Structure 1
Amino acid sequence: MKCTNKCLALLTALAVCFGATGCSDEAIAFSYNPDYKVSAFRISGDTGFETADAFASGLCVVNGDINTDNSAVDMTDATSAGLFDLNSRTVLYAKNIHERLAPASLTKLMTAVVALKYGNPNDVITVSSNMGNLESGAVVCGLAEGDQLTLNQALHALLIKSANDAAVAIAEHIGGSVEGFADMMNEEAQAIGATNSHFVNPHGLNAENHYVTAYDMYLIFNEALKYDTVNEIISMTSYDTVYTDKNGNEKTLSVKNTNQYLAGNVAAPDRVTVIGGKTGTTNAAGNCLILLARDTSGNPYIAVILKSAERGILYTEMNALLEQATS
């Protein structure tokens, strides 16, 4: 109690000093109150007052490499990787977890987060003429100027086929422009703690100053999984729908999942079920993959690998990573 009184006396003296002639030209209001419910002044042993929750109280937190000397996890050909136990909020594996790297189409998870936060799945998108401005060879679903489809339909094309034209259509609908939407992406990244990332487009095609970290991708995917629409879409193996062109004629969209686990081309380790996720590949980003998986008890995990050398190696590495969830 004496310590508390001395602290209060010192702080009061400082407040008087700042408000008195000779210390400052104008009085400065003392901003602390010993009765504030989360104040550090309440150190006298009182009970019943509230405390502030830490920002990361419900998140996995990691500073550096974890378990990289595990011979069962060969990440030689991957630049960065992480495995996160969502129930225990424990990081089971981490390699170069905070290194800034190109994310390729993993970017589209942040696009989905912003779209669902600020849009409605039933919104009708009218496609602009910008669909032809994508780089040569970019994956598209065939959208043309004047086409109309719902945001929900566009999100399916975005997350299942990884359609870059769908990403642009979403960005222009929500943000007014690709640039405006990128600003929204960066604001949302900051809000969820992904402060080591920066976006300049909604699709992840090669661009200067467009990067994430494996840890930030965990934060972004964790945020995306709060939306039922995302959970539904990432678990789908294929999707068929009908939208209209500029003349009102029907157009059919049929897409298949690029995730090799969901496509049935790669088997997950025993006692692990892959629920869904997002793939990404560009020359700059290499081969990238982020997954939501569950063990036989239903416990959820997020696993992410950035910049693996080849697609085949990527899935071998991912299986080695997922096996750590049940070891």
Structure 2
Amino acid sequence: MKCINKMRLLCLCGIAAVFMSGCGQTVVSYDNPYDIYSTSADYGLASEGAGSEKTYFSQNLCVADDVNIGNDTTDSQVAEGAGTFNLATNTVTYAQNIYEKLYPASTTKILTAYIALKYGNLEDYVTVSENAANQASDSSVCGLKAGDVVQLKDLLYGMMLKSGNDAAIAIAEHIGGSVEGFADMMNQEALAMGATRSHFVNPNGLPDENHYTSVYDLYLIFQNAVQDQTFLDIISTMSYDVVYTDVNGAGVEKTWENTNQYLTGKEKAPEGITVVGGKTGTTGAAGYCLVLYSYNASGQPIVSIVLKADGKSNLYLLMNEMLSGFAN
């Protein structure tokens, strides 16, 4: 399916403009309030160059109808939502409930990393708070303790590879001043990307009924993130050695391994597919999730997403079926 659908494009622009007008920003009045060209530029939805040509925020994005594509030829029953997006041709090649509201689990951390890279200084040193260190013992953590001093760059690796919920909270508090302040940033950034079916309340994706997204919104967020080379460097790393100091100034050494089984070698990508990296996520409510960035046999960049799979093996089963049959 070609990705530009005019009616959906207008709807996205209108919805994003309405939502963003309520985000505490300065009220702007317009001579022609119903002229989408004059208003949307103020919300980052369209830009205007030297001439009169208008450029929409979604000009080079996939905007597809709410229909399923290809799921009758895969084991689609193992997951609630999935999609494959060709960034070179701007086409949706596989679609399975891509607009359905779903829980993202730790794929949330893609947006957290995007914001940290956009607004943070990777050389900053962050002191881990009690709040950040106090994570459930059965959740995914980096093992940080209150008073640890860790460089922001290292926290990003811990969050994206080890999927550390403690690292995510430390990043959020450093960038946003608090978890709540950072969540506001997340929602503003998501809306600016056109991700109108999402709402975030924390930086790590732990379950909350008010924390949700969709396959399509995750595509929008992820395709923005992969434009940053540092982000690509992080998600493509198999393991990361880190040294930081504890509350007493003593050195702490750790190695954080990537949870992406394509990178660890536990799963093999289909022939012709080169996996760069991505982000996993798992909770009881969200099921097994994976957002992946790869290249097909023609060297075209592909974003593929599976949400709410019923098991880890089925997560990779469906992902491989999508990559082998629809990454074109």
Question: Which category of TM-score, normalised to the shorter sequence, fits these structures?
Answer: 0.7 to 0.9
For the residue of structure 1 that corresponds to 2:263, the secondary structure is coil
Write out per-residue CA displacement over residues 106-139 of structure 1, whole angstroms, 9 at most, x where no aligned residue. Answer: 0000100111111111111111111343234111
Bigger helix share: 2
Structure 2 matches for 1:52-63, cutoff 5 A? 52-63=54-65
Taking the aligned partners of 1:196 and 1:69, their CA distance within structure 2 comes to: 22
Structure 2 matches for 1:189-200, cutoff 5 A? 189-200=190-201
For the residue of structure 2 that corresponds to 1:226, the secondary structure is coil
For the residue of structure 1 that corresponds to 2:204, the secondary structure is coil
Percent identity, please: 50
Corresponding position of 1:118: 119
Corresponding position of 2:52: 50
- Matching residue's letter, 1:236: T
Taking the aligned partners of 1:282 and 1:30, their CA distance within structure 2 comes to: 45
Write out per-residue CA displacement over residues 31-80 of structure 1, whole angstroms, 9 at most, x where no aligned residue. Answer: 36xxx9x78xxxxxxxx952211221010111212423542x22111100
Taking the aligned partners of 1:310 and 1:70, their CA distance within structure 2 comes to: 20
RMSD: 1.8
Between stretches 283-292 and 243-252, larger displacement belongs to 243-252
Taking the aligned partners of 1:297 and 1:89, their CA distance within structure 2 comes to: 15
Between stretches 199-208 and 280-289, larger displacement belongs to 199-208
Structure 2 matches for 1:257-268, cutoff 5 A? 257-268=258-269
Aligned pairs, how many?
286
Residue 215 in structure 1 maps to residue 216 in structure 2: yes
Checking the alignment, whether the CA contact within 8 Å between 2:161 and 2:235 is kept in structure 1 is yes
Which 4+ residue blocks in structure 1 deviate beyond 6 angstroms?
Answer: none
Corresponding position of 1:188: 189
326 and 31 in structure 1: CA distance in 2 versus 1, 3 angstrom threshold: closer
Corresponding position of 2:128: 127
Structure of greater Rg: 1
Corresponding position of 1:279: 280
Structure 2 matches for 1:85-124, cutoff 5 A? 85-124=86-125
Taking the aligned partners of 2:287 and 2:175, their CA distance within structure 1 comes to: 29
Checking the alignment, whether the CA contact within 8 Å between 2:289 and 2:307 is kept in structure 1 is yes
Corresponding position of 2:31: 31
Corresponding position of 1:83: 84
51 and 253 in structure 1: CA distance in 2 versus 1, 3 angstrom threshold: same
For the residue of structure 2 that corresponds to 1:278, the secondary structure is strand
- Matching residue's letter, 2:172: A
Write out per-residue CA displacement over residues 238-266 of structure 1, whole angstroms, 9 at most, x where no aligned residue. Answer: 10010111221100121111001001001
Checking the alignment, whether the CA contact within 8 Å between 2:107 and 2:289 is kept in structure 1 is yes
TM-score when normalising by structure 1? 0.84
Checking the alignment, whether the CA contact within 8 Å between 1:271 and 1:296 is kept in structure 2 is yes
Write out per-residue CA displacement over residues 253-285 of structure 1, whole angstroms, 9 at most, x where no aligned residue. Answer: 211110010010010111111110000000000
Residue 68 in structure 1 maps to residue 55 in structure 2: no
- Matching residue's letter, 1:207: D
Taking the aligned partners of 1:67 and 1:212, their CA distance within structure 2 comes to: 20
Taking the aligned partners of 2:303 and 2:327, their CA distance within structure 1 comes to: 13
Write out per-residue CA displacement over residues 281-309 of structure 1, whole angstroms, 9 at most, x where no aligned residue. Answer: 00000000010010122111000010000
- Matching residue's letter, 2:217: D
Checking the alignment, whether the CA contact within 8 Å between 2:272 and 2:297 is kept in structure 1 is yes
For the residue of structure 2 that corresponds to 1:161, the secondary structure is coil
For the residue of structure 2 that corresponds to 1:223, the secondary structure is helix
For the residue of structure 2 that corresponds to 1:302, the secondary structure is strand
Give ranges in structure 2 of 5+ residues lacking alignment. Answer: 1-28, 39-49
